[in-house]
Amino acid sequence: MFHVEYNGYSAVYTGDYNSYADRHLGAASAPRLAPNILITETTYATTIRDTKRDRERAMLQLITETVERGGKVLIPVFALGRAQELAVLLETYWKRTDSNIPIYFSAGLIEKANLYYRLFADWQNEKIQE
């Protein structure tokens, strides 16, 4: 987030953010501000969706059913943060269900992202920091 003040006016500009903690990152926070204008990313601003828990449960069920039938699952992920959260979700689920199904991630950006997650560990939620 960027807060810019000029000539008695102020603006806050931000990309995507989440006011709720994810599995890997804490919730976005900012000091109390009263900008004249807020510019923000709004991809899902008017979308009403099922709860995150319901969406995750449905996805894990589909993955499990597919693998149990002998299939393989490929999950293209459009964002590095989403890939990290998916990794945590799958690892947690696999441990809870005693699954021995291997999980593979393609190399490249995800490896670089892992480096930054280690460098900026304080950005992550307490559970992941531990």
3 state SS for the chain: CEEEEECCEEEEEECCCCCCCCCCECCCCCCCCCCCEEEECCCCCCCCCCCHHHHHHHHHHHHHHHHHCCCCCCCCCCCHHHHHHHHHHHHHHHHHCCCCCCCCCCCCHHHHHHHHHHHCHHHECHHHHC
pTM: 0.60
Q: Tell me what pLDDT residue 105 has.
A: 72
Domain count along the chain: 1
pLDDT tier for residue 19 given thresholds of 50, 70 and 90: confident
To the nearest whole percent, how much of the chain has pLDDT over 90? 27
- On average, the pLDDT of the chain sits at 82
20: its two tokens: 């709720």
- Pairing type for strands 2-6 and 37-40 reads unpaired
Rg, C-alpha atoms of the chain: 18
- Which one is predicted more confidently, 12 or 115? 12
pLDDT tier for residue 125 given thresholds of 50, 70 and 90: low
**Residue in 86, 84, 78, 81 with CA at minimum distance from that of residue 60:** 86
To the nearest whole percent, how much of the chain has pLDDT over 70? 82
Amino acid at the residue 113:
A
Is 41 a known active-site residue? yes
Give me the domain span that covers residue 75: 2-129
pLDDT in tens, 23-69: 666 777 778 889 999 998 887 778 887 888 898 999 999 999 999 99
Catalytic residue among 5, 41, 91, 111: 41
